[in-house]
Amino acid sequence: MRIENLVRITGGVLLNAPSVDSINDILTTSSKVQRENLFIDVNHDESKIAQALENGAYAILTSTIPQIKDEEIAWICVEDINKAIIKIARFYAIQKKFTFITLLTVQYALAKCMQIDKKAKVLSSNPSDALLEILKSKDNETFFVVNSDFITKIDPSITLPKNRVDPDKIFQSGLFYSTFIFRDKYINNLKLSPFFVPFLCALMEYLDELHVEYSVDNFNHFEHFYPQFVNNNLEQKDFGSTDKVLIFETDFELFLKELNFLEERYNHQSLVVFTPQETSFTCKVETIVYKSFCDIQNLKDIDFKYAIIYGRLQDFEESLKMKVTNQMSLF
């Protein structure tokens, strides 16, 4: 890409009169920059700019007024680096004739766990990572994307699929397993909570309409309603090996819906809610407010079967006793 076109696309200002007139690739990681590349200063870090220069960068795109250390290369300043990334991504998306299929947040998380036909990729929700994926992709690619301001600015014409579609029949399942029938597909003992089956069915219906092939047999790394089995001393145990479970959720809207799902299906005496003090909501079961992650040890004094926690497992792991005999496989 010519430097003058890059300036025009990003709406930036060229701060000098460089001797170079074009770049051949765009990078956001300074250590990976090579000769003739553009480096985008996403972290506003002068040391990263210096590293990119050492590696042979031909242009620097930044939102801060830099100290120009090399007049031979192009120094481009923009008002907002994220907006510049969007503009570059939009330019290449149009040029390469991409199709974006927008998913709701839960469907996007489900799609990341599915085996989807190679003609449809799951695009990162991080703007910088998404830009690099767009740059590396071939013409006429199809991408699944999460609904966000970033993607709607790249392609304002996108539409949303249905949020939920009920299965034709759902059989009695455990809290973390589901068996159901949907559009003549019999899904047996899927390692996914029944709570998410309507979201999955909406996604399956959407993929069928698009004639995209997929597989729904592996949700080992699904990020929501994440169960960690523990014993009475809150020692982490293998999946399904105890009758006491900590359930972690980082999406507050989903957290409230999952709590309601548990309240409707289980004895309230067997449930407990563990939430940070800044959250505000009402529920029918016992609620414990935590100020720090180590407060999770307070659950040892409570008789419960399921504790739904607003937070990430990773943040609490140091406070949980680690005694796992085998590496846990969640699903």
The structural domains of the chain, ordered by start, are 3-79 (3.40.1390.10), 85-154 (no CATH), 169-212 (no CATH), 226-319 (no CATH)
Residue 91 near residue 36 (C-beta atoms within 8 A) = no
Determine the average pLDDT of the residues in 293-313. 93
With beta carbons less than 8 A apart as the criterion, state whether 78 and 187 touch: no
Residue with tokens 């505000």, as numbered in its chain:
280
Per-residue pLDDT, 330: 46
Residues 6 or more apart whose CB falls under 8 angstroms from that of 96 comprise: 134, 137, 138, 139, 140, 141
Estimate to the nearest angstrom the gap between the alpha carbon of 78 and the chain centroid.
Answer: 27
> Given this model, what pLDDT does residue 331 score?
40
- CA–CA separation, 244 and 230 (whole Å): 6
Residues 297-311 have a mean pLDDT of 94
User: Is 126 in a helix, a strand, or coil?
Assistant: coil
Q: Which of 125, 120, 133 is nearest to 104 (CA)?
A: 125
Write the CB contacts of 285 (distance below 8 Å, at least 6 apart in sequence): 259, 262, 263, 268, 271, 272, 273
pLDDT, tens digit, 9 for 90 and up, residues 210-235: 888 888 888 988 999 999 999 999 99
Distances (CA, A) of 165 to 1, 195, 217, 311: 45, 12, 19, 28
Q: Record the pTM.
A: 0.71
Mean pLDDT of 133-155: 81
